[in-house]
Chains A and B, each alone.
Chain A
Amino acid sequence: MSKIIKVDYLSRVEGESGFIIEIENNKVHRLHLNVFEAPRFFESFLIGRPYYDAIDFTARICGICPVAYQMSSVHTIEKIFGIEVESPIKALRRLMYCSEWIESHSLHIYLLNGPDFYGIESAWASKDYLKITKKGLAFKRLGNNILALIGGRSIHPVSVRVGGFYKLPDRKSLKAILPEIEKAYEDTIKEIKWAAGLQFNNNSWDTEYVSLSHSDEYPMNYGSVSSNKGLNVSMKKFLTAIQEYQAEHSTSLHAGIKRDSSVSPYIVGPVSRLNLNYNKLPPEIKAAMKDAGISIPITNNQMSIIARTVELSYAFYEAMRIIKEYEEPERPFINFTSIAGEAVWITEAPRGILLHRYEVDDKGNIKACSIIPPTSQNLGHIEKDIYNFLQDNIDSSVDFIRKECEKIIRSYDPCISCSVHIMRL
């Protein structure tokens, strides 16, 4: 018995991709995630440009997570120049990240992934679900509004610069939005129970979760790279800890962690972050998780909607805390001189760790650059996840397999526009 399961253009994900699975004699003969998003060559046209262009340019890799690109690039360049920004600037950048997590997570939870659990084709396909959509849109709007207060606009914000910000947000308008954030935090705490109550297939397996870890905070802009399998390296060393490999069932190159003589897939994103940094969450959120019956680690990525909802709530909590504690710095940015050098920096994009590496010459122009987005790191893991699912469901109908595989892929919140930046190690 042989069958082919094919999706040409996957819906409710960001970007253009599909997949093909060929099953022969009850064995997976071929399994391939097909990314047909057209290449854009960012790493090429950045060469020869002034260092500050990296911030505005790389944001354009992804309209859903531009802050992530701005944060990874600005920190890499500040590292090259030996700049340490003042703590209110650090706080504001963290607040920007919170608002992007809110915007991106609520988009995925309510508009992209949510409909899967209700068997509908879109977030507005049923009257009942429309109520859920409205809730999600309200969270999303608030995330966008906070981001616009700091960055001028929510997609491709314009305020971030090396050394700080072009202009600081008005303290009064930050305080003015606080009651709305407090209300949203209360609401999202309740959403944790909703997410935990959704129906999940059993698709657990032992794998390697990778995220930043930081001694004092749930990671966003700072930390070292760690995993549940003992990985604990600096951002720079992480580049040498991973390697491309070719999976036997696939034609594309994947990223894996080197260990002795083998290379194995790993996963980045909200589930990894939550599994590795659960103890950095505030007590109220931990209590809400306990109440909802969520236990850590989460070992089934289809439950990533739970992790995303927990992080949505946490992002509101952090936004609240940062705004309450915010003291305006004396100046919006610090002065510096550009010097030649090379550095790597990693931050936690909504979908997982995003690595930037730049080499800058003595005139401040970019000499070399590489970008490793979260989704390119997850592609190998997604295929392994589908492969594992097929082992238990190889006899099922083509229709069932297709639907379930779509759900598996969607649970990663893949960002295909990002992932075309195939890794070159």
Chain B
Amino acid sequence: MKKPRIGVFKFTSCDGCQLSILNMEEELLDIIDFFEIAYFKEATDKPLRGEFDISIVEGSISTEWQKREIVDIRQKTRSLITIGACATSGGLQALRNWANLSSYKKNVYPQPDVIKALSTSTPISDHIHVDYELWGCPISTYSLSEVFTSFLIRKKPGMPKYSLCMECKRKGIPCILVSKSEPCLGPITLAGCDVLCPSLNRPCYGCFGPKEGGNIESLLIQFQKMGFTQKDCNLLLDKMNTYAYRKVRIESVA
């Protein structure tokens, strides 16, 4: 049987999610056995050629060039999977969606005029059809193995759709929100991180993004009862998944 061809593509991002592929370490060698890594700039010199059975896409769309490029990749791809907060939600850089680009430019670059960027940073799914999304900043290596294995045995990847609280309870960790009155985003955030922050006595800061249908407004009312201001609450949502949290928040009010 011909090995399925994988392409790995990068848009605006930190490279961390692509690195998760290389961080699969020994499992990476299995992937090489079962798949042909046909395009992966960070790891091989192979030029961009042909079509792909799976395209793994990291990063958000934040330049004109990228808007055209992602359409081209979609046309060459059977299953397109986005990895990480940038690709699924626009990333931290989507904070500029709520600001003024020209003042952002002036603040960082000595010659702001030469900097080419869109005024927004948006998820891949705002531009093309995405077959499956892996959330997380960064994604877990487990979720990658799940995707690759699922492809081989032709099933849908089984990533949790429930909130972090479920995993947290199962682990028997005392609730940080209830017992310490700390603003934990667990109730509105997707599980999948293995309860990283609460395990380390730290409230969840939402790097796995919002759970679908989460009641964000109600959680924020609770935070305000605990003494946090409206501004504090906004800052809590406006991080690596700002774009997605704001979307779900609007839906939770409607």
Contacts and interface: CB of A to CB of B under 8 A. Distances in A.
A99 interface: no
Interface centre among B42, B62, B121 (most CB of A within 10 A): B42
A161 B240 CA distance: 18
A61 B32 CA distance: 29
Contact of B16 (A16, A47, A111, A155): A155
A64 B108 contact: no
Nearest to B18: A63
A422 B43 contact: no
Q: Is the interface of A mostly helix, strand, loop or mixed?
A: loop
A129 interface: no
Chain B contact residues (Cβ within 8 angstroms of A): what range? 35 or more
Nearest to A103: B23
A38 B14 contact: no
B19 interface: yes
Interface centre among A37, A41, A66, A121 (most CB of B within 10 A): A41
A339 B221 CA distance: 30
Contacts of B40: 122
Interface stretch (A7-15, A279-287, A350-358): A7-15
A33 interface: no
B211 interface: no
B202 A167 contact: yes
B19 A63 contact: yes
A60 B137 CA distance: 8
Given A137-B25, A156-B137, A424-B110, A11 B11 contact: no
Contacts of A152: 196-197, 199-200
B103 A44 contact: yes
Interface in B128-181: 137-138, 140
A121 B44 contact: yes
Contacts of A112: 42-43
Interface stretch (B72-80, B92-100, B246-254): B92-100
B45 A167 contact: no
A44 B13 contact: no
Interface string A115-150: 000000111110000100110011011001000000
Interface stretch (A49-57, A179-187, A318-326): A49-57
Contacts of A153: 138, 140, 193, 196
Given A45-B95, A154-B23, A424-B109, A63 B63 contact: no
A158 interface: yes
Contacts of A57: 92, 239
Given A50-B235, A158-B197, A421-B108, A38 B62 contact: yes
Given A14-B42, A63-B18, A244-B110, 9 more contacts: A38-B62, A40-B12, A44-B103, A60-B92, A63-B14, A140-B23, A152-B199, A154-B23, A155-B138
Interface of A: 9-16, 37-45, 47, 49-50, 53, 56-57, 60-64, 66, 107, 111-112, 121-125, 130, 133-134, 137-138, 140-141, 144, 152-156, 158-159, 161, 166-167, 244, 253, 332, 417, 421-422, 424
